[in-house]
Amino acid sequence: MSNRATNLLVPIVSVILGLLVGAVIMLASGYNPLEGYAALWNGIFGDMYTIGETIRQITPYLLAGLAVAFAFRSGLFNIGVEGQLIVGWFAAAYVGVAVELPKIIHLPLAIIAAAVAGALWGFVPGLLKAKFHVHEVIVTIMMNYIALHVTNALIRTVSDGGDRTESIFASASLRSEFLENLTEFSRLHLGIVIALLMVGVMWFILEKTTLGFELKAVGFNQNASQYAGMNVNKNIILAMVISGAFAGLGGAMEALGTFEYVSSKGGFTGIGFDGIAVALLGMNTPLGVIFGATLFGSLKYGALNMPNAAGIPIEIVEIVIAVIIFFVASGYIIRLLLLRASAKKKEAK
């Protein structure tokens, strides 16, 4: 079997196996899998509204996946994407309500504020890693909790004790009348354009710049990079800063597009943590992150229709979606099995 055929078969077989096992779980639980998957399909592609909402759901996953993938490619494990996204969300919303400016100034300013906030939240673990060799996983996990509670306190401060800020000014909004009309007034906004642009930015940095070469080199081998004259500490900090900026932009998509405000949170959004799975599904490549985010966002949004349309409890739905993602993530094992089956067929001949 050729490599091209194997590359084509692996994702197809992965999805089919995931769907089959998910069907078995629904049958064992006393629910009709055909009705369940029909509800999932309609929840993703049922009409223009659901398509618009699905794309809207994919947008923050794209940026969270890019944030994790960029750090991975630089040899770092950024578990703090969730916290960086939360501070970016707050920064964008605050700029959106604090001042009213012409849209050509206000919207870019709010987006930049989110990127800077996320970058600063990534700078701290990057600095501690570079200067004191403190493991970034420990620091970023703690920074997630700090981000959650600090932003909650700031929200109560700026809203005079309330649980949410006022809605942002229209001049800071990512809403698009064209996209709303196209998708039957879904919440699809211009953030998807920004997210796709960031995919190109990540690719350009890593593949076409000296900085990207150094970041990847440091990720592969810090000692060899140091011997070659590269500034390892600077590259570690830069990797975390850029990763944090991507995550902060993910927060801006929620603040300026989906919700147009920020509210205090009782727990994490989950987008940043799901970004880890998105990056791993996409093999930490910019193009791969698009496919990983599309799968994750589509399944997450489409699954919301399964309890209503098919009567399947949300707990079973979550298990089925997790099983599908599990099999897609197990592509290496499936590839190995396909190659072994092909080799045995050749031996039999």
pLDDT tens digits along 53-81: 999 999 999 999 999 999 999 999 999 99
With a CB cutoff of 8 Å and minimum separation 6, the contacts of 224 are 217
The band of 1, judged by pLDDT with boundaries at 50, 70 and 90, is: low
Mean pLDDT of 330-336: 81
User: DSSP label at 261?
Assistant: S
Q: For residue 321, what are its two tokens?
A: 């979606």
Mean pLDDT of 162-191: 97
What's the pLDDT score for residue 335? 80
With a CB cutoff of 8 Å and minimum separation 6, the contacts of 177 are none
Q: At what angle do helices 48-73 and 210-220 cross, to 10 degrees?
A: 70
- Round to whole Å and give the CA distance between 216 and 72: 9
The band of 280, judged by pLDDT with boundaries at 50, 70 and 90, is: confident
Of the listed ranges 42-46, 196-200, 326-330, the one predicted with least confidence: 326-330
Among candidate residues 196, 193, 217, the one with its CA nearest the CA of residue 206: 217
The full length of the chain comes to: 349
- Round to whole Å and give the CA distance between 8 and 21: 21
Among candidate residues 237, 246, 278, 229, the one with its CA nearest the CA of residue 57: 278
Beta bridge partners of 189: 175
What's the pLDDT score for residue 37? 96
What's the pLDDT score for residue 328? 83
- Round to whole Å and give the CA distance between 305 and 16: 21
Mean pLDDT of 38-46: 96
User: Which three-class secondary structure state does DSSP give residue 263?
Assistant: strand
Whether 164 contacts 256, CB under 8 Å: no
User: DSSP label at 171?
Assistant: G
Q: Is the pLDDT of residue 111 over 70?
A: yes
Distances in Å between the Cα of 151 and the Cα atoms of 43, 56, 154, 241, 257 are: 33, 24, 5, 19, 19
Q: Which domains does the chain have, with CATH numbers?
A: 1-31+312-349 (no CATH), 48-309 (1.10.3470)
Beta bridge partners of 175: 189
Q: For residue 191, what are its two tokens?
A: 């953030």
pTM for the complete prediction?
A: 0.93
